[in-house]
Amino acid sequence: MSGGREQVLAAIRRSLGRGALGADARAALDARRGATDSEPLLPKLPKGTPAQVFRTGLEKVSGTMSELTALEEVPGAVAGYLAGHGLAPETAVAPSLEALDWAGAGIAPSVGPTRGGDFAGVSQAWRGVAESGSLVLLSGPENPTSLNFLPDHHIVVLRAQDLVSHLEQAWAALRERGEKGWPRTVNVITGPSRTADIELTIQLGAHGPRSLHVLLVD
């Protein structure tokens, strides 16, 4: 609908009292580092290691976390989590984590996206953000988005080296992906699903996961 496009743009220019911007003006706008053409204003973080600050943020929003020393420990930690919640040793697993020894931990993994039949889902975070205790997950064949939202329990593997202080550092890293650019979806997840829509009473597990558990791997 190019007619619609021109109509709206013309109305904008009328209101701004000018015509279309020239090539030079547009190039100058494109060269700016964002609207204010300055470094982002990043809030100062509380004292502590990135892992400590991240844990504080995560726990504030009812997330939980355990720290592991190697990726190989993930299946065992997932088995422990499932048993601790009285769940069968079954879980959906992102293809990025398929190579781990799930059978060795007594878990029957279903690898790939879910249609809602799985009680637990394990996926891998691309970055963790200390400022807010948030996880950044990228969609793709290796990390289906459905794992982040449909299971009751969402377990997320985060490597300690992928912890950043602020969201802006994650964006800088995303720009470095170059060609691949933005995946279909970047999910920034801060705690389990919640609602306060009935009498402003906070209730976890509205539509997404009822609990969020992070496995921080050093």
Partner 1 sequence: MEPLSHAFKERSIWALQDETLQVALNRAKDGFAVKRATAVDRLPEFEALRDRAVAIKDHTLENLDHYLERYADAVERSGGKVHWASSAEDARRIVVDICRASGARMITKGKSMVGEEVGVNGALEEAGFEVVETDLGEYIIQLAHEPPSHIIVPAVHKTRGQIAELFHQNHEKYGLTRKLAEVPEMVNEARQVLRGKYLAADVGITGANFLIAESGTSVIVTNEGNGDLTCSLPKVHIVTAGIEKVVPTVEDASTLLRLLGRSATGQDMTTYTTFTTGPKRPGDTDGPEEYHVVLIDNGRTTMLGDQFREMLRCIRCGACMNHCPVYGAIGGHAYGWVYPGPMGSVLTPLAVGLKEAGNLPNACTLNGHCAEVCPVRIPLPDLLRTLRHREYQLRLGLKPMRWGLAAWVWFTTHPRIYRLGTRVQARMLALLAGRKGRFRRMPLAGSWFRGGRDLPAPQGETFMAVWQRRQRGQG
Judged by CB under 8 A, the chain residues 59 through 78 that form the site for partner 1 are: 60-61
Backbone φ and ψ of 111, nearest 5°:
-90, 130
Comparison of 35 and 70: residue with beta carbon closer to partner 1 = 35
**Choices 70-78, 99-107, 156-164, 198-206 (CB under 8 A): range interacting with partner 1:** 198-206
C-alpha Rg value of the chain to the nearest Å? 21
Q: Match 């950044």 to its residue by tokens.
A: 136
Q: How far apart are CA 20 and CA 22, in angstroms?
A: 6
- Assess 51 for contact with partner 1 (CB under 8 A): no
Query: Which residues 98-117 are close enough to bind partner 1 by CB under 8 A?
Result: 112-113, 115-116
- Assess 177 for contact with partner 1 (CB under 8 A): no
- Asked if 57 contacts 133 with a C-beta cutoff of 8 angstroms, the reply is yes
- Single out the residue of 71, 65, 39 nearest to residue 50, CA to CA: 65
Per-residue contact string for residues 146-165; x = within reach of partner 1 by CB under 8 A: x-xxx---------------
- Asked if 190 contacts 133 with a C-beta cutoff of 8 angstroms, the reply is yes
The residues that bridge with 164 in the sheet, in sequence order, are: 129
Comparison of 34 and 86: residue with beta carbon closer to partner 1 = 34
Q: How far is the CB of 101 from partner 1 (least distance, A)?
A: 23
Q: Exactly one of 40, 80, 104, 106 binds partner 1 (CB under 8 A); which one?
A: 40
